[in-house]
């Protein structure tokens, strides 16, 4: 198995920035344009671990990525938060008034929609990756076209920033997960957060009972996300994150939750990065 880290997107993408911050500047990456390809590289042993965006403070949760993690039995071994700084960039020497099209990832476009209300002549077009668009503009010498991406992408591909930090909410941040095919166990490393998935019977108070166990064992729930189960109409899977101080107490709580829930699955235990 190579020691490369799988990322969605290319050099200068936010996944690439996370990989450099989490593993160090010299990290070697395998670049993929889709999360499905990223997951396949991890399962096939082409990548040692992977970086995957899971939620944004403005645009919300990326639900399909939860499904990818669950269906492929991947393990969450870490997390990393990064502020998202969106910048409008194009070939040098162009004016923003001459830009006719802006390509970027759908989430990036969503995060900047207020800015573009001032420029009705600009058509917003969804693309696979922020940095990939910047690279394409640079290689093709495309005029009247701009990208939404990080300042690092502008530097890498020689583009000029026409407008800095144009995202609507300046507190914009994205949470990324570090994925592996193997569970991380306490080995002297601090483990104080876990991600769980379970199903519940459709009866009154079942979710409240689970939340009470979490409280009784001094755990804090930092996230809860429900997803419909396709094969069972009106039944849901729950994905939750909990933080705790005592790993052995967490394990005791899990044994009780196994009895109270259906198909309890520990998606990962890792260090809380907040």
Q: What is the mean pLDDT of residues 81-93?
A: 95
Closest CA to 272 of 189, 170, 204: 189
Helix (H, G, I), strand (E, B) or coil at 225: strand
pLDDT tens-digit readout, 245-263: 999 999 999 999 999 999 9
Distance of CA 205 to the CA centre of its chain: 31
d(CA 112, CA 172): 11
Helix (H) or strand (E) holding 216: helix 206-216
Spatial separation of the C-alpha atoms in residues 199 and 65, rounded to whole Å:
18
Q: Is the pLDDT of residue 19 over 50?
A: yes
Confidence tier at 3 by pLDDT (50, 70, 90): confident
* Dihedral angle computed from the Cα positions of residues 112, 62, 80 and 31, in that order, rounded to the nearest 10 degrees: -90
Question: Mean pLDDT across the chain, nearest whole number?
Answer: 93
> In this structure, what token pair is assigned to residue 99?
């830009």
pTM for this entry: 0.86
For helices 63-71 and 35-43, angle between their N-to-C axes, nearest 10 degrees: 20
If one looks up domain 5-83+172-180 in CATH, what number appears?
Answer: 3.40.190.10
Strand partners, 123: 101
Question: CATH number of the domain at 87-163, please?
Answer: 3.40.190.10
- Residue among 206, 207, 190 nearest 244 (CA): 190
Is 80 exceeded by the pLDDT of residue 1? no
123-129: average pLDDT: 93
Q: What number of residues does the chain have? A: 274
How sure is the predictor about 55, in pLDDT bands with cuts at 50, 70 and 90?
very high
Check the CA dihedral 213-219-223-227 and report its sign: negative
CA distance 266 to 196: 5
206 vs 121: CA distance, rounded Å: 52
The answer to whether 83 and 175 are in contact (CB under 8 A) is no
Distance CA 166, CA 148 (A): 9
Q: How confident is the model at residue 2 (pLDDT cuts 50, 70, 90)?
A: low
Euclidean distance between CA atoms 111 and 172, whole angstroms: 8
Report percent pLDDT > 90 for the chain: 79
pLDDT per position as a tens digit, 159-210: 999 999 999 887 889 999 999 999 987 766 789 999 999 998 777 888 999 9
Choose the weakest-confidence range: 36-40, 53-57, 78-82, 89-93: 53-57
Mutual orientation of helices 206-216 and 247-260 as an angle, nearest 10°?
Answer: 160
70 pLDDT above the threshold of 70: yes
- Token representation of residue 110: 């969503």
Share of the chain above pLDDT 70, in %: 99
Residue 79 has pLDDT above 50, yes or no: yes
Asked if the domains 5-83+172-180 and 193-270 are classified in one and the same CATH topology, the answer is no
Residue showing tokens 């990525």: 65
Q: Are 179 and 74 in contact (CB under 8 A)?
A: yes
pLDDT level of residue 96 (50, 70, 90 thresholds): very high
What's the fold here for domain 193-270? Alpha-Beta Plaits (3.30.70)
For the chain, domain boundaries:
5-83+172-180, 87-163, 193-270
Whether 81 contacts 102, CB under 8 Å: no
């Amino acid at each position: 198995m190579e020691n490369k880290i799988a990322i969605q997107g290319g050099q200068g993408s936010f996944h690439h920035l996370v990989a450099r911050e989490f593993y160090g500047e010299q990290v070697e990456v395998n670049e993929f344009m889709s999360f499905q390809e990223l997951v396949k590289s991890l399962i096939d042993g082409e990548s040692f671990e992977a970086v995957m965006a899971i939620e944004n403070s403005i645009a919300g949760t990326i639900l399909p990525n939860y499904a990818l993690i669950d269906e492929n039995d991947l393990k969450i071994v870490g997390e990393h938060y990064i502020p998202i700084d969106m910048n409008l960039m194009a070939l040098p020497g162009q004016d923003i008034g001459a830009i006719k099209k802006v390509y970027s990832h759908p989430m990036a476009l969503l995060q900047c929609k207020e800015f573009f209300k001032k420029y009705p002549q600009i058509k917003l077009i969804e693309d696979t990756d922020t940095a990939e668009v910047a690279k394409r503009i640079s290689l093709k010498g495309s005029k009247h076209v701009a990208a939404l991406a990080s300042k690092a992408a502008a530097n890498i591909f020689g583009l000029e920033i026409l407008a800095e930090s144009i995202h609507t909410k300046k507190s914009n941040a994205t949470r990324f997960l570090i994925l592996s095919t193997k569970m991380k166990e306490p080995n002297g490393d601090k483990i104080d957060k876990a991600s769980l998935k379970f199903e519940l019977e459709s009866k009154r108070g079942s979710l409240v009972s689970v939340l009470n166990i979490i409280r009784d064992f001094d755990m804090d729930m930092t996230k809860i996300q429900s997803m419909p189960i396709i094969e069972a109409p009106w039944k849901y899977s729950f994905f939750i994150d909990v933080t705790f101080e005592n790993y052995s107490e967490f394990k005791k709580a899990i044994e009780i939750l196994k009895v109270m829930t259906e198909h309890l699955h520990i998606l990962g235990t890792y260090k809380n990065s907040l």
